Amino acid sequence: MNKEELMESARNTKKAAYAPYSKFPVGAALLLKDGNVINGVNVENVSFGATNCAERTAIFTAITKGYTKGDFQAIAVAGDTMDFLPPCSICRQVLSEFCLPDMPVYLTNEKKEILELSLRDLLPYAFKNLDM
């Protein structure tokens, strides 16, 4: 699957987001090394701290399905923004837990342009382990 197809999957998935408070739907498409794609959306809660982002929804769903650290090949994130929409810092840390530093992260904007970064570019000083 190429980055355009993965991003289109993220764009289509954001329609299922539960965002009644922010009105800011986000979709993510996580490409696995076996070629499967797992999608996620943001799911809000009136207590904003209980909200879960699209990227974490996709990763946690993959883990639930038996995928493990290293099984992730790329992720695309889509929202309705003028600029490219990056994952929040919590999502970046979760990505760092399960993905290799050179994994592609695709971001888009309302013009449907795609920016490709590596996870390392997105989180250069990732917290890697507890033995520091």
Q: For the chain, list the domains and their CATH numbers.
A: 3-120 (3.40.140.10)
Helix, strand and coil content of the chain, in percent to the nearest 5, comes to: 30, 25, 45
Of these residues, 55, 97, 113, 116, which one is catalytic? 55
In this prediction, residue 57 carries a pLDDT of: 98
Question: Is 55 designated active site?
Answer: yes
Nearest-Å Rg of the Cα atoms of the chain is: 14
Pair of tokens at residue 88: 């929040």
In the prediction, which pLDDT does 129 show?
A: 66
Residues placed in the known binding site: 53, 88, 91
Angle value at C-alpha 13, between 100 and 117, nearest 5 degrees? 30
**Backbone φ/ψ region at 70: left (φ over 0), alpha (ψ -120 to 50), beta:** left
Annotated binding site for Zn(2+): 53, 88, 91
Confidence (pTM): 0.93
Return the closest-CA partner of residue 103 out of 77, 122, 88. 122
Q: Which pLDDT score, from 0 to 100, does residue 127 have?
A: 80
Q: How confident is the model at residue 5, as a pLDDT? A: 98
Query: What stretches in the chain show pLDDT beneath 50?
Result: 132
In the three-class reduction of DSSP (H, G, I as helix; E, B as strand; rest coil), residue 20 is classed as coil
Adjacency order of strands within the sheet including 114-118: 37-41, 26-32, 72-79, 104-108, 114-118
Give Dmax (Cα) for the chain.
43
